[in-house]
Structure 1
Amino acid sequence: MDPGNDTVTSQFLLMGFSEDPELQPLIFGLFLSMYLITVFGNLLIILAVSSDSCLHTPMYFFLANLSFVDICFTSTTIPKMLVNIRTQSKVITYAGCITQIYFLILFGVLDIFLLSVMAYDRFVAICHPLHYTIIMNPQLCGLLVLVSWIMCVLNSLLQSLMMLRLSFCTQVEIPHFFCELNEMLQLACSDTFLNNVVMYLAAVLLGGGPFAGILYSYSKIVSSIRGIASAKGKFKTFSTCASHLSVVCLFYCTILGVYLSSAATQSSHSSATASVMYTVVTPMLNPFIYSLRNKDIKRALKRIVGVPAM
């Protein structure tokens, strides 16, 4: 019999970044600012795409979905942390922790799926330009997003249900600013072998699979660009996917950096600090990356804020 099954904790403590009271206002102000920038920036992208008929194309349809998911992804962690700082409490309930894990996995994996779908869209646009409108029809675009949602919901539900079978012996201190799945497994009293198998299998299939698709798409894109004779033509073609490639590199590099650094240092505090990159910084930067070099987005944004187009 597993001795941990008889004892269940009703709440956890999110330890955050620092216990120094003097640093709490600084942390609160910094994360509140980043959260507001993230929500406002991504909302502007959604409004720009929905209000401008010129942006009613597959590429911008997927971008609007990515912006919505980024808002949800950040909203899963930051508001709870801000509330805890304001109330000077570190408590999160057991149900709240499981719920946070569910939505973190859901929106985190959905980010990966949407980035892979956007890579496929760029692959079709560059490698099969004459058939682009036929292949990337509205029905296929909607189906790709719907399938991504279904797969991510099922995976998140599985991971959360697997967490429910575990028990935690005492009031557990989580050395993080949110309930991170891997950290929670390390704190459990009961056997986590099956949970780890499911977690790593899902990471390989749902993380590695889309990443392989992105690499394949860009290998074909690079081959097509190399076949273009003029340097101007090569630059113009590559510029259509430069923003997406920047977001992919930022997202995957930060995730890999977090888990490689945590594995090397074995420091939960370092892992929590590094996790800010993919949970907060990346969703905040995405709207800037997509709008700074995109004339269509900038034109639509100027129209929204009432600035006349040049």
Structure 2
Amino acid sequence: MGNYTSVPTVFHILPFSDKTDSTAYVFSFLTIIYLLGVFLNVMIVTLVFWDKRLHSPMYLFLCNLSFVDLCFTTTIIPKLLHIMSSGNHNVSFGQCFTQVYFFLLAGLSEDLLLFTMAYDRYVAICRPLHYHSLMSRKVCAVCVVSIWCYAAVNSCLVTVLTMKMSFCHSTTIHHFSCDAKALTRISCAGKELLYLVIYIEAFIIGFGPFLCSFWSYAKILQVISYKI
């Protein structure tokens, strides 16, 4: 524990283990994929926003999912492209943990949105007579706001716990972005509480919604097969 820095000012990101001659091809491929994803997601959000016929719960959730995907890729890809093009692998403390926060925010929001969309389809197919009462615009708006608020608070908690870790001799992150798990690999103290929170959330936010979504789609398939 003798030689470590608890609050580094700069992290060094190494997205690839070895230097490769195909960096230009990887850069071009990522740029095309990113721009295509941005274009498609922006198009979906714009269509849902302007077309009043699409102002229904299903498209409201789809619009939010497209926005989350847009945030997901924008949090990671532009900085990765900058690193690849400039050769400057340094990321400041503030930039690193800002990326951690928004990455977690997008990930948690997407997970909860997918669960909500599964429940929406379950109600629409298995409880069609109660759909408009169970999934009214007010209920959907409350669901969306609750998802974003919960994800924001939860991401803030995990980010703060990550910031409180002490980092050992190296501040080099062998990952394509500042990631909480990647940061624990170069931490020498303070990660026990973070691990505990991550494991609890993995069960509650990850495994729980997955089981509920699986059950919803199983019931949907059961109803469809019965009608056929």
Normalising by structure 2, report the TM-score.
0.94
Match of 1:37 in 2: 36
- The alignment partner of 2:16 has SS state of coil
When residues 56 and 161 of structure 1 are mapped into structure 2, their CA distance, relative to the original with a 3 A threshold, is same
Residues 124-143 of structure 1 correspond to what in structure 2 (within 5 A)?
124-143=123-142
* Letter of the structure 2 residue corresponding to residue 156 of structure 1: S
Match of 2:55 in 1: 56
Please say if residues 166 and 190 of structure 2, whose CA atoms lie closer than 8 Å, have aligned partners that are also in contact: no
Match of 1:200 in 2: 199
* Deviation (angstroms), 1:17: 2.4
User: Where is the helix percentage greater, Structure 1 or Structure 2?
Assistant: 1
* Deviation (angstroms), 1:6: 5.8
- The alignment partner of 2:205 has SS state of helix
Please say if residues 7 and 167 of structure 2, whose CA atoms lie closer than 8 Å, have aligned partners that are also in contact: yes
* Deviation (angstroms), 1:198: 0.9
- The alignment partner of 1:227 has SS state of helix
Which whole-Å CA distance do the structure 1 matches of 2:167 and 2:32 have between them?
Answer: 35
Are residues 1:77 and 2:76 paired?
Answer: yes
Which whole-Å CA distance do the structure 1 matches of 2:106 and 2:124 have between them?
Answer: 26
Residues 101-180 of structure 1 correspond to what in structure 2 (within 5 A)?
101-180=100-179
Which whole-Å CA distance do the structure 2 matches of 1:107 and 1:4 have between them?
Answer: 35
Point out where structure 2 has 5 or more consecutive residues left out of the alignment: none
Which whole-Å CA distance do the structure 1 matches of 2:208 and 2:3 have between them?
Answer: 36
* Deviation (angstroms), 1:175: 1.2
* Deviation (angstroms), 1:132: 1.3
* Deviation (angstroms), 1:51: 2.2
When residues 129 and 98 of structure 1 are mapped into structure 2, their CA distance, relative to the original with a 3 A threshold, is same
Match of 1:91 in 2: 90
Match of 1:209 in 2: 208
* Deviation (angstroms), 1:191: 3.8
* Deviation (angstroms), 1:21: 5.6
Match of 1:17 in 2: 16
Please say if residues 121 and 136 of structure 1, whose CA atoms lie closer than 8 Å, have aligned partners that are also in contact: yes
Point out where structure 1 has 5 or more consecutive residues left out of the alignment: 231-310
* Deviation (angstroms), 1:72: 0.4
Aligned pair count reads 228
* Letter of the structure 2 residue corresponding to residue 110 of structure 1: S
Which whole-Å CA distance do the structure 2 matches of 1:116 and 1:150 have between them?
Answer: 16
When residues 49 and 192 of structure 1 are mapped into structure 2, their CA distance, relative to the original with a 3 A threshold, is same
Please say if residues 11 and 173 of structure 2, whose CA atoms lie closer than 8 Å, have aligned partners that are also in contact: yes
Which whole-Å CA distance do the structure 2 matches of 1:173 and 1:23 have between them?
Answer: 22
Q: What fraction of aligned residue pairs are identical, expressed as a percent?
A: 37
Which whole-Å CA distance do the structure 2 matches of 1:81 and 1:178 have between them?
Answer: 7
Q: Deviations over 1:134-182 (max 9, x none)?
A: 2211100001111111111111011011012111133421111101211
- The alignment partner of 2:188 has SS state of coil
Which whole-Å CA distance do the structure 2 matches of 1:199 and 1:6 have between them?
Answer: 24
Which whole-Å CA distance do the structure 2 matches of 1:140 and 1:4 have between them?
Answer: 54
* Deviation (angstroms), 1:108: 0.7
Q: Deviations over 1:115-144 (max 9, x none)?
A: 000001100100111221222111000011
Residues 258-273 of structure 1 correspond to what in structure 2 (within 5 A)?
none
* Letter of the structure 2 residue corresponding to residue 205 of structure 1: I
Normalising by structure 1, report the TM-score.
0.70
Please say if residues 100 and 178 of structure 2, whose CA atoms lie closer than 8 Å, have aligned partners that are also in contact: yes
* Deviation (angstroms), 1:86: 1.7
Q: Deviations over 1:212-232 (max 9, x none)?
A: 22012112212211220x3xx
Please say if residues 101 and 159 of structure 2, whose CA atoms lie closer than 8 Å, have aligned partners that are also in contact: yes
- The alignment partner of 1:178 has SS state of coil
* Letter of the structure 2 residue corresponding to residue 40 of structure 1: F
Which whole-Å CA distance do the structure 2 matches of 1:19 and 1:192 have between them?
Answer: 28
